[in-house]
């Protein structure tokens, strides 16, 4: 019969266990930092989206104001603009003799003269604007309708461009009132004619 010699169990040092735990801690820290980074990137992407939405809303109001100005500059004399805010969708509009930059800070929104909001709202077709009493606007709605303000700048000083000069300020909002974009343009409206009859 073969007998085997008895060997006492060797002491385990636990090197594999300690190494595994350290690797687990390192991988957990890396995963947490990745998730945190994804969260920051998601917020940045959302902010960029809202900025672009606000900019496109402001540009649409500015474009509408330029077209309105071409159609109405000869029939709508400049007036001193004050409250209430007009609505371009209800075929309202105005050319203001009081320049916006002289009566308020253009970047302070909403634009106010004498404590009252001024300007002309324009809601493009298909734009969903949040209701006034709506506490949480939906993801696809805009906080407020875009607003424009047309200021009469007087006669052009450039002899090559005779006519009246106007400044158009327009503001658009994203999904909340804290996201706003402001655009400005200087616009000259004039007519040119040639006397081809020799008179």
Give the span between the Cα atoms of 89 and 41, in whole angstroms.
38
Strand partners, 135: none
The total of other beta-carbon atoms located within 10 Å of residue 98's CB is: 18
| pLDDT score recorded for residue 65 | 95
Q: What is the mean pLDDT of residues 81-108?
A: 87
Residue 135: the pLDDT is: 54
Q: Using alpha carbons, list the distances in angstroms from residue 176 to 38, 60, 111, 197.
A: 23, 18, 17, 59
- In the predicted model, is pLDDT for residue 193 greater than 70? no
Selected residue with higher pLDDT from 141 and 192: 141
The answer to whether the peptide bond before residue 84 is cis (omega within 30 degrees of 0) is: yes
Half-sphere exposure of 60 (CA within 13 A, CB side): 18
Contact 91, 107 (CB under 8 A): no
Q: Which residue has the higher pLDDT, 99 or 64?
A: 64
CB 149 within 8 A of CB 81: yes
Give the tens place of pLDDT for each residue, 145-185: 999 999 998 888 888 777 889 999 999 999 888 899 999 99
Q: Give the number of other CB atoms < 10 A from CB of residue 65.
A: 26
Which runs of consecutive H residues, i.e. helices, occur in the chain?
15-72, 100-103
Please state the domain extents for the chain.
26-189
pTM over 0.85: no
């Amino acid at each position: 019969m073969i007998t085997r010699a008895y060997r006492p169990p060797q002491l385990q040092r636990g090197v594999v266990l300690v190494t595994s735990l350290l690797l687990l801690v390192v991988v957990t820290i890396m995963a947490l930092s990745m998730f945190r980074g994804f969260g920051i990137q998601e917020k940045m992407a959302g902010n960029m989206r809202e900025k672009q939405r606000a900019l496109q809303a402001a540009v649409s109001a500015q474009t509408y104001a330029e077209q309105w100005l071409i159609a109405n500059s000869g029939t709508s004399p400049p007036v001193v603009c004050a409250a209430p805010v007009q609505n371009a969708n209800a075929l309202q509009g105005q050319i203001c003799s009081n320049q916006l930059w002289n009566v308020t800070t253009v970047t302070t929104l909403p634009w106010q003269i004498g404590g009252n909001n001024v300007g002309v709202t324009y809601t493009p077709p298909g734009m969903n604007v949040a209701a006034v009493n709506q506490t949480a606007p939906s993801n696809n709605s805009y906080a407020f309708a875009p607003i424009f303000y047309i200021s009469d700048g007087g006669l052009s000083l450039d002899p090559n461009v005779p006519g009246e000069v106007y400044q158009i300020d327009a503001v658009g909002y994203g999904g909340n009132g804290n996201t706003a974009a402001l655009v400005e343009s200087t616009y000259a409206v004039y007519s040119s004619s040639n006397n081809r009859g020799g008179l």
